[in-house]
Amino acid sequence: MSVLAQRSTATLSISEAEYQKFCEFFYRRTGISFGDNKRYFVDKRLIGRIEKTGASGVEDYFERLRRRDASGEIEALINLLTINETYFYREDHQLDCLVNGILPELVAGRRKGDRIRIWSMPSSTGEEPYSIAIYLLENWPQVDDYDIEIMASDIDTNVLRAAEAGVYDARSLHRLSPALARKYFVTAGADGFRLIDAIRRSVRFNKVNASDAAEMAAFVNIDVIFCRNMLIYFDDRSRRQVVESFYDSLGDGGFICLGHSESMSRISSLFAVRKFPQAIVYQKSGGPR
Amino acid sequence: MPLIRSAPIMPDATTEAPELHRDQLTSNDVDERRRAARALSGDPAAASILAARLAVEPDLRVRDALFGSLIDIGGTRAAELIAAFIRSEDAGLRGGAIDALKRLDADAVVVLDTLMNDPDTDVRILAVEVTRAWPRELANPRLRRVFETEPHVNVCAAAVDVATEIGGEDLLVALSALRARFASEPFLVFAIDVTCSRIRNDDARGV
Amino acid sequence: MNVHVISPAASAADRFAAQILVVDDATVVRLYYRQILEQQGYRVEEAINGIEGLEKAVQTPFDLCIVDVNMPMMDGYTFLHALRREPITHAVPALMTTSEAGVEDHHAALKAGANAYLVKPVARDQLALYVAVLLGRSVA
């Protein structure tokens, strides 16, 4: 434990009651629970933020978190407490849900050749939208029957550029079988793997700021949105507005998938909860409920 | 994951005449009603119309949009209009009103103080919940008043739950008295004990 | 109230298998019910509003849901309607709680799909009794 200069010999520690209180607050705010076995993990990061923000202690830090002008503090904390990494076929149970649950429902009323619009936002360095493309090719028998459009958006032009280049390291591919890796990648440099052109061309990348309703309004009649591990970083107000934009972008009966530790229960009641064997997703249900 | 959030930019809501939006509030199409409700978010004069529609709107998504626009309009008038729904027979409208009042911050203080003195127990219970969104300096004096003067156990319980999250040591004396007052109510005694242990432990550490 | 219900399968071991979902937005209420129910040997999971409750209910085979009326995002009645519509959760017993005490509310709860209805604050033995009955346990 580190010693704070202004506290002379006192070292900062989190009491049992403080831990409980923090967990209750965090659960209420985000829906994420920490068990007692996460004590060390949480304490360490909480103390880190208390020191970084110059709060005088847990109490003071806590009050800061509650303020509406918390200026990204709760987001910084969430960032520390959740694990974020991106790689191919991450949370592939959702891709399974796409192929075996969502798409069959969506195409039930469609003709061959009709368009299906899938939107990955944020797309980050591209693993997610490219995973969708590969997974569909590998697992959906009807993939050639429809005109599938995969759009991918992010606010960061650096990651968009990297995504378009389509070069990844072994860590990004760790969930892919060697057969899949061989089929869709060629080696690039010492330890790089470049996605084959056919896949790279199948995704269209755009720079989009999720908080800009006008930019978001350009996306219409979307069938499926993958928005994983983005909303969790937004404050209440921005989050609601982004979700409203998504709602407006979806066509009737369209679906949205969030990250595994995320839930609409802390964001909005606009969507219906849909349970598939592979995953829980949310649907813009047509007509009155 | 680098993600820069800029201030939310609302689409230009004034491209169509406001009267058109108001008419579309009664459209047969849910999405049309929803869009109309959101389009009126920049129009303070539309506040009473939005509230009037809320009273009869059956669809949850449109209600969401109506509350959203009232919140965007803000101000004490919007707070009053929203507060009226705390008395609704419809649990969803009551909940929506509480949520909305929380987001109005200081604009809701005056109307909340009135509601916390309402003769209806259920109104007082719901009103107390709004203080959870307030800074401690604003919330705690009101919670203390509830502990000291509120006769109904469920209103006290609601205030105790809020205090579990935001209560300060200035509430301990009142909580102790409340515990004595309701000694025969095991749930409230339990709740107060939880709250006090949260509050006391923070302060016992000292600085 | 005199209730005598015996389920043929009920035994001490069964009791430890029962999973109960508590849906209430007040922290102290959830803590209170948890304490009572765990003492009885049940396993407890929590949700803070109807949406979270629904998400948990469709993922885990709960033996009983205890749900409050007034919650943000999705109230208790809406939760119950959704619970009854969803094939997976259609028949899960549900106990509705509320601060309100009118007869109309009691009827509304039953119409929405609740199996029973309790007015808060709920006493310990009252909760234990209702839970046992709704789970088909012997209460002799």
Domain ranges for chain C, please list them: 12-134
What average pLDDT is seen over chain B? Answer: 89
> Could you tell me the maximum CA-CA distance found in chain A, to the nearest angstrom?
73
For the structural domain made of A92-283, what CATH number should be given? 3.40.50.150
Min mean pLDDT across A123-127, B41-45, B199-203 is at B199-203
Q: Is C42 helix (H, G, I), strand (E, B) or coil?
A: coil
CB contact under 8 A, C121 and B126: no
The closest CB to that of B1, out of A16, A20, A124, belongs to A124
Residues of B in Cβ contact (< 8 Å) with C71? 95
Per-residue pLDDT averaged across B57-78, rounded?
A: 95
Interface contact B191-C78, CB threshold 8 A: no
Give the C-alpha distances (Å, rounded to integers) separating B134 from A142, B102, B148: 54, 8, 20
Burial of C10 (0-12, 13-18, 19+ CB in 10 A): middle
pLDDT at C124 over 80: yes
Q: Give CA–CA dist A263/A282, Å, rounded.
A: 9
Residue carrying the six token digits 């047969």: B28
Task: State the residue for tokens 């002799």.
Answer: C140
Two tokens, residue A173: 């591919």
Q: What pLDDT shows up at residue A285?
A: 85
**Residue B88 touches partner C, C-beta closer than 8 Å:** no
Q: Work out the minimum CA distance from A268 to partner chain C, whole angstroms.
A: 7
Query: What is C12-134's CATH topology?
Result: Rossmann fold (3.40.50)
Contact between chains at A264 and C54 (C-beta distance less than 8 A): no
pLDDT at residue C97 is higher than 90: yes
- CB contact under 8 Å between B190 and C32, yes or no, is yes
Which residue is closest to A264 within chain C, CA to CA? C51
Q: What is the pLDDT of residue A35?
A: 80
- In this prediction, residue B12 carries a pLDDT of 46
pLDDT score, position C78: 94
In angstroms, the CA B201 to CA C71 distance is 29
- Across the beta sheet with C19-23, the strand order is C43-47, C19-23, C64-68, C94-98, C116-119
- A265 and C52 within 8 Å at the Cβ level: the answer is yes
Which of C45, C51, C67 best probes binding to A when mutated, by most A CB atoms within 10 angstroms?
C51
CA distance A8 to A31: 37
User: Could you give the C-alpha distances from A46 to A27, A80, A276, in angstroms and in order?
Assistant: 15, 9, 36
Q: Which residue of A has its CA nearest to C83?
A: A273
* A31 and chain C in contact, CB less than 8 A: yes
Cβ neighbours of residue C132 closer than 8 Å, sequence gap 6 or more: C5, C40, C138, C139
What pLDDT does C16 receive? 59
**B23 — pLDDT class (breaks 50, 70, 90):** confident
**Residue C81: pLDDT above 80?**
yes
Q: CB of B64 within 8 Å of any CB in chain A? A: yes
Q: Which residue has the higher pLDDT, A6 or B124?
A: B124
Task: Indicate if the pLDDT at residue B13 is higher than 60.
Answer: no
Pairwise CA distance, residues A218 & B132, whole Å: 38
Candidate from B5, B9, B202 with C-beta closest to A59: B202
Superfamily of domain B13-110: Leucine-rich Repeat Variant (1.25.10.10)
Alpha-carbon span B95 to B84, nearest angstrom: 12
Does A273 lie at the interface with C, CB-CB under 8 angstroms? yes
Q: How far is CA B171 from CA B62, B137, B140, B163, B199, in A?
A: 40, 12, 7, 8, 9
Q: Which distant-in-sequence residues (6+ apart) come within 8 Å of A105 by Cβ? A: A253
Q: What stretches in chain A show pLDDT beneath 50?
A: 1-9, 288-289
State residue C100's pLDDT score.
74
Interface contact flag, A275 C82, Cβ < 8 Å: no
Whether residue B60 lies within 8 A of chain A, CB to CB, comes out as: yes
pLDDT at A9: 35
Subunits touching B (CB < 8 Å, at least 3 pairs)? A, C
Which residues between 133 and 192 in chain B have a beta carbon less than 8 angstroms from any beta carbon of chain C?
153-154, 157-158, 160-161, 164-165, 185-188, 190-191
Out of B60, B161, B186, name the one closest to residue C26 (CB).
B161
pLDDT confidence band for C14 (50 / 70 / 90):
low
Of C73, C99, C124, the CB nearest to B125: C99
The domain ranges of chain A are 5-81, 92-283
Query: What's the CATH architecture for A5-81?
Result: Orthogonal Bundle (1.10)
In this prediction, residues B132-152 reach a mean pLDDT of 96
Chains that touch C (3 or more CB pairs under 8 A): A, B
Report whether pLDDT(B4) > 90.
Answer: no
Residues 6+ apart with CB under 8 A from A256: A224, A225, A226, A227, A246, A250, A271, A281, A282, A283, A284
Are B3 and A56 a contacting pair at CB < 8 A? no
What's the complex ipTM? Answer: 0.87
pTM: 0.88
C-beta atoms surrounding C22 within 10 Å: 25
The predicted structure's pLDDT at residue C101: 67
Which two three-digit tokens encode residue A77? 């904390």
Whether B92 and C78 lie within 8 Å, measured CB to CB = yes
